[in-house]
């Protein structure tokens, strides 16, 4: 984490439901900022929540407020929540109602700003009419290009909203180290994702192999190509994009922070590869996909 901050990677993302109850991301962040209190003002902290104990999403104030207050409690005053996002849109509650509730909590000082997660372009428009949107977090990578053609990036440009690109390395698939489901450890949730399953992964590996040829040609790593491609979308769509790759090793953080300038020829070659090797399989299990793109 200190390596990331040293490299200027100061947008940190956590979640109320990330990790076990006794050591989730908020508790780990509390431990970090307790050890390095001087870093608190250097970091923009975005936290996702809004999911109840039954894993259901409740976008009413009655549902969202306890989540916000719990996140604040878990941080223990070590760091303010700069941006709070409901992990998914509650389809039974108008987004306007959720935004009004979060705006009230922002004005109370519980959070610094309001973000959106896994949303459609129309949802962004409706939400932005109620409250300023600090960020929109979506899955965006060479593995998940939907935002380039569903109007989300254009809408974020229209409202001057930064885009937070989660899983820019395709949950590790764009590292080239996953060749079959057997390469994932037992209990790894990715084994449940259609893209990683037999009958799909074999075709998806062809995409990785083709992209690796560009990385080899430029003398860089595939993760560097993947992250640089995401950043190249800034120029194409005229919107700020912040990729947030995760890592457990400082050397990987250094690798991922090395931004490349992809030439037009590189981008054209990548687009050709994407058209030749479309990704097979959904991003999540069927029941989770029903909650996505709200």
Residue 196 lies inside a defined structural domain of this protein? no
Residue 98 lies inside a defined structural domain of this protein? yes
pLDDT in tens, 50-87: 876 666 789 999 999 999 999 999 999 999 999 999 99
Q: Which residues are catalytic?
A: 18
Segment 263-270 mean pLDDT: 96
Q: What percent of the chain has pLDDT over 90?
A: 76
Rounded to the nearest angstrom, the gap between the alpha carbon of residue 69 and the centroid of all alpha carbons in its chain is 22
Does 37 or 189 have the greater pLDDT score?
Answer: 37
Q: What is the dihedral of CA 77, 83, 84, 90, to 10 degrees?
A: 180
Structure tokens at 105: 């909590």
Residue 90 lies inside a defined structural domain of this protein? yes
User: Could you tell me where the beta strands, DSSP code E, fall in 37-183?
Assistant: 44-49, 83-86, 114-117, 135-139, 163-166
Q: DSSP 3-state assignment of 88?
A: coil
Residue 7: give its domain's CATH number. Answer: 3.20.20.100
- What is the domain range of residue 135? 1-172+222-259
3-state helix, strand, coil in the chain (%, to 5): 50, 10, 40
Q: State the Cα–Cα distance between residues 286 and 87, nearest whole angstrom.
A: 17
Residue 82 lies inside a defined structural domain of this protein? yes
**What pLDDT is attached to residue 99?**
97
**What pLDDT is attached to residue 249?**
92
Residue 30 lies inside a defined structural domain of this protein? yes
Task: Give the bridge partners for 164, in sequence order.
Answer: 137, 242
Residue 203 lies inside a defined structural domain of this protein? no
**What pLDDT is attached to residue 292?**
63
Q: State the Cα–Cα distance between residues 116 and 163, nearest whole angstrom.
A: 10
pLDDT in tens, 77-116: 999 999 999 999 998 999 999 999 999 999 999 999 999 9
pLDDT in tens, 114-160: 999 999 999 999 999 999 999 999 999 999 999 999 999 999 999 99
Contact 66/47 with Cβ under 8 angstroms? no
First-to-final CA distance of the chain: 31
Task: Decide the pairing of beta strands 135-139 and 11-15.
Answer: unpaired
Smallest Cα–Cα separation from 30: which of 97, 75, 64, 70?
75
Length of the chain counted residue by residue: 294
Q: How many helices (H) and strands (E) does the chain have?
A: 11, 7
Per-residue pLDDT at 291 exceeds 70: no
Segment 238-249 mean pLDDT: 94
Reported as a pLDDT band with limits 50, 70 and 90, residue 178 is confident
- What phi, psi does 257 have (nearest 5°)? -85, -5
* All residues at 6 or more sequence positions from 7 whose CB lies less than 8 Å from its CB, including other chains: 253, 254, 257
pLDDT in tens, 215-228: 999 999 999 999 99
Instruction: Write the DSSP string, 21-77.
Output: TTS-HHHHHHHHHHH-GGGGGG-EEEEEE-B-TTS-B--SHHHHHHHHHHHHHHHTT
Residue 204 lies inside a defined structural domain of this protein? no
Per-residue pLDDT at 251 exceeds 90: yes
Structure tokens at 212: 């690796």
Segment 205-221 mean pLDDT: 95
Residue with tokens 């995409």: 207
Residue 183 lies inside a defined structural domain of this protein? no
The total number of structural domains in the chain stands at 1
Segment 281-286 mean pLDDT: 70
């Amino acid at each position: 984490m200190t390596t990331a901050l040293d490299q200027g990677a100061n947008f940190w993302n956590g979640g109320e439901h990330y990790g076990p109850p006794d050591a989730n991301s908020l508790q780990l962040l509390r431990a970090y900022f307790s050890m390095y209190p001087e870093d608190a003002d250097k970091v923009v902290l975005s936290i996702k929540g809004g999911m109840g104990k039954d894993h259901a999403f409740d976008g009413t104030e009655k549902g969202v407020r306890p989540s916000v207050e719990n996140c604040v409690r878990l941080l223990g005053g070590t760091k303010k929540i700069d941006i709070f996002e409901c992990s998914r849109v509650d389809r039974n509650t108008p987004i306007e109602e959720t935004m009004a509730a979060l705006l009230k909590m922002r004005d109370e000082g519980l959070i610094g700003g309001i973000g959106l997660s896994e949303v459609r372009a129309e949802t962004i428009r409706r939400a932005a009419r109620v409250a300023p949107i600090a960020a929109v977090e979506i899955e965006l990578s060479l593995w998940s290009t939907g935002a380039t053609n569903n109007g989300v990036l254009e809408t974020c440009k229209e409202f001057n909203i930064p885009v937070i690109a989660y899983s820019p390395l395709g949950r590790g698939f764009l590292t080239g180290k996953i060749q079959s489901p057997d390469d994932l450890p037992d209990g790894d949730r990715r084994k449940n994702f259609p893209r990683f399953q037999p009958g799909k992964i074999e075709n998806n590996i062809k995409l990785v192999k083709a992209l690796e040829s560009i990385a080899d040609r430029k003398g860089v790593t595939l993760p560097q190509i993947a992250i640089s491609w995401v950043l190249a979308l800034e120029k194409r769509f005229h919107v700020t994009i912040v990729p947030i790759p995760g890592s457990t090793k400082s050397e990987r953080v250094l690798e991922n922070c090395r931004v490349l300038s992809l030439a037009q020829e590189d981008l054209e070659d990548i687009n050709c590869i994407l058209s030749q090797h479309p990704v097979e399989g959904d991003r999540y299990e069927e029941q989770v996909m029903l909650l996505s793109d709200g």
